[in-house]
Amino acid sequence: MSARREDFDAALDVASDRARAWLGGLDGRIVRATATVDEVRAALGPALPDGPSDPADVVRLLADAAEPGLVATPSGRFFGFVIGGTLPAALAADWLVGAWDQNAALRAASPAGAAVDDIAAGWLLDVLGLPPAAGAGFVTGATMANFAGLAAGRDAVLARAGWDVGARGLSGAPSVRVLAGAERHDSIVSALRYLGLGAPEAVAVDDQGRVRFDALAAALAAEPGRPTIVCLQAGNIHSGAFDPFASAVPAAHAVGAWVHVDGAFGLWAAASPRTRALVAGAGDADSWATDAHKTLNVPYDSGVVVVRDPAALRSAMSYHADYLVTDAAHLEPYERVPELSRRARSVPVWAALRSLGRSGLSDLVDRLCRHAAAFAAGARAIPGAEVLNDVVFTQVCLSFGDDERTREVGRRLMADGTVWMTGSRWRGREVLRISVSNWSTTDADVARGLDALARAAG
């Protein structure tokens, strides 16, 4: 055994043992953390040591100190925010990504990274019902995917107006109009801010948070000829609802607008015949953002930007430097994303899709929806509980009467620890939000969740 291998072995053995113990213990533990931030800080020790430490000891210290401060987000009883777990193949592949330590920016720097990017991108376009010739980039999450897709859109609508953003910036440029549903995710707002486009104009939404077509049509008609971007949404974080793509996309295109779809978790509806109708027409948009770390259950952090015209993505994201050995015949991985140096982020995506196959992926989506429907049905049987949304996908919004009572049920539920659901405000009311996003959630987990809800509401 080489000295180098020994250097790694002891530390990796500790990491593997601790990872297995953590994953194996998920079933039996409460979901919330048992230590506070300050307690974990104290356990880790604040002082930077003067000298080196044994690598295995460092990993052991980290696991000992951190574990009480971990939330069991990969557990089948975590229903907070919109957070998926991690599929076994995706997690193991992610470990290899760390060990391989490829800089997957360039084909020359990692032929394997580029090959996996190509295949995983092709599979994604296929299962998500997106144009097969589109360009796809592997980014950290839907926030950056929204940023990259909207960057391509900004540059394209301004190019059509005779303005080269890359050369001239935005000072003096024709002003770009951005329309987004009133219930767009806030990362759309931040992406637009990074892009110098300011806050979007809010388009009125219906009682499920869907863009109202009449409101969109009126807004589109109001300022003809102005460079326009329309942001639509596949999967409202509260209701799970989908914007009316089949009418909205052609209407936006009719006035020359660029259409971007934020489908962080909802674009995956396309992967199952049962839910595919929810995204009908979304594939006709110009750019899309989605996450692999939510519905697909890939470890953090993993998002994907897709742009119909690969040249638009490349011109928004790419740059040339003489030291970067590029292959003129191909789009390099870094030319589709904001980052240059990057981990081989497509590898766990590839492994997740390869391990599920087409039927496994559609079963996963169906299962999440079935559990959400079971939560809604079970909640309706709890005295005082009300389901506020039409449960069309993976999200359920509950109220337990007035705001204070809903907050109190949420507090009791968190103290109980059997499940994690997050509080929020939706349509002027305090809500308890259930997001079913974890591949490993079982019928028994849902039953335990409903029991916990009934106890908290009792």
Residue 141 in contact with ligand PLP, rule: CB under 6 A:
yes
Q: What is the nearest approach in angstroms of ligand PLP to the Cβ of residue 141?
A: 3
Q: Is 137 in the site for ligand PLP (CB under 6 A)?
A: no
Candidates 200, 235, 281, 348: give the one binding ligand PLP (CB under 6 A): 235
* Nearer Cβ to ligand PLP (306/385): 306
269 binds ligand PLP (CB under 6 A): no
Q: Determine if 183 is a binding residue for ligand PLP (CB under 6 A).
A: no
Q: Does the protein bind ligand PLP through residue 265 (CB under 6 A)?
A: yes
Instruction: Verify binding: residue 378, ligand PLP, rule CB under 6 A.
Output: no
Query: Is 211 a residue that touches ligand PLP (CB under 6 A)?
Result: no
In sequence order, the 6+-apart residues with CB closer than 8 A to the CB of 28 are none
Q: Is 264 in the site for ligand PLP (CB under 6 A)?
A: yes
CB of 215 to ligand PLP, least distance (A): 20
DSSP-derived letter for residue 298 is P
Q: Give the nearest residue (CB) to ligand PLP.
A: 141
**Residue matched to tokens 């995706």:** 90
Binders in 143-162 for ligand PLP, by CB under 6 A: 143
Q: Please give the C-alpha separations between residue 373 and each of 15, 145, 275, 324, 409, in angstroms, as whole numbers.
A: 38, 29, 13, 51, 21
Total residues at the site for ligand PLP (CB under 6 A)?
13
- Which residues in the 73-112 window bind ligand PLP by CB under 6 A? 82
Give least dist CB 262 to ligand PLP, A.
5
Question: Considering only 61-69, 108-116, 259-267, 351-359, which stretch makes contact with ligand PLP by CB under 6 A?
Answer: 259-267
- Per CB under 6 A, the segment of 112-120, 140-148, 209-217, 449-457 that binds ligand PLP is 140-148
Q: Which is nearer to ligand PLP, 268 or 375 (CB)?
A: 268
Please say which residue, 302 or 440, places its beta carbon nearer to ligand PLP: 302
Task: Enumerate the H helices of 128-236 as residue ranges.
Answer: 142-160, 165-168, 186-194, 213-222
261 counts as binding ligand PLP under rule CB under 6 A: no
Q: Which is nearer to ligand PLP, 82 or 316 (CB)?
A: 82
Which of these segments, 51-59, 130-138, 139-147, 201-209, binds ligand PLP (CB under 6 A)?
Answer: 139-147
Please pick, from the candidates 75, 102, 187, 275, the single residue that binds ligand PLP as defined by CB under 6 A: 187
Nearer to ligand PLP, 264 or 453 (CB): 264
Q: Is residue 298 at the binding interface for ligand PLP, with CB under 6 A as the rule? A: no
Residue from 72, 136, 142, 436 binding ligand PLP (CB under 6 A): 142
One-letter-per-residue 3-state SS of the chain: CCHHHHHHHHHHHHHHHHHHHHHHCHHHCCCCCCCCHHHHHHHHCCCCCCCCCCHHHHHHHHHHHHHHHCCCCCCCCECCCCCCCCCHHHHHHHHHHHHHCCCCCCCCCCHHHHHHHHHHHHHHHHHCCCCCCCEEEEECCHHHHHHHHHHHHHHHHHHHCCCCHHHHCCCCCCCCEEEEECCCCHHHHHHHHHCCCCCCEEECECCCCCECHHHHHHHHHHCCCCCEEEEEEECCCCCCCECCHHHHHHHHHHCCCEEEEECCCHHHHHHCCCCHHHHCCHHHCCEEEEECCCCCCCCCCCEEEEECCHHHHHHHHCCCCCCCCCCCCCCCHHHHCCCCCCCCCHHHHHHHHHHHHHHHHHHHHHHHHHHHHHHHHHHHCCCCCEECCCCCCCEEEEECCCHHHHHHHHHHHHHHCCCECEEEEECCEEEEEEECCCCCCCHHHHHHHHHHHHHHHC
Number of H helices, E strands in the chain: 14, 11
Shortest distance in whole angstroms from residue 383 CB to ligand PLP: 31
Q: Should residue 243 be labelled a site residue for ligand PLP when binding is judged by CB under 6 A?
A: no
Which residues, including other chains, have CB under 8 Å from residue 411's CB and lie 6 or more apart?
A: none
Report the nearest approach of ligand PLP to the CB of residue 418 (Å).
Answer: 24
Q: Does 138 bind ligand PLP (CB under 6 A)?
A: no
Q: Which of 237, 292, 368, 391 binds ligand PLP (CB under 6 A)?
A: 237
* Contact status: 438 vs ligand PLP (CB under 6 A): no
**Residue 303 makes contact with ligand PLP by CB under 6 A:** yes
Q: Judged by CB under 6 A, which stretch of 137-145, 276-284, 310-318, 371-379 contacts ligand PLP?
A: 137-145
Handedness of CA 265, 269, 271, 272 (dihedral sign): positive
Could you say whether residue 348 binds ligand PLP (CB under 6 A)? no
Of 107 and 336, CB closest to ligand PLP: 336
Q: Is 260 in the site for ligand PLP (CB under 6 A)?
A: no
d(CA 145, CA 147): 5
Compute the least distance from the CB of residue 194 to ligand PLP, in Å: 13
> Quick check: 72 and 102 in contact, CB under 8 A?
no
> Which residues make up the interface to ligand PLP (CB under 6 A)?
82, 141-143, 185, 187, 235, 237, 262, 264-265, 291, 303
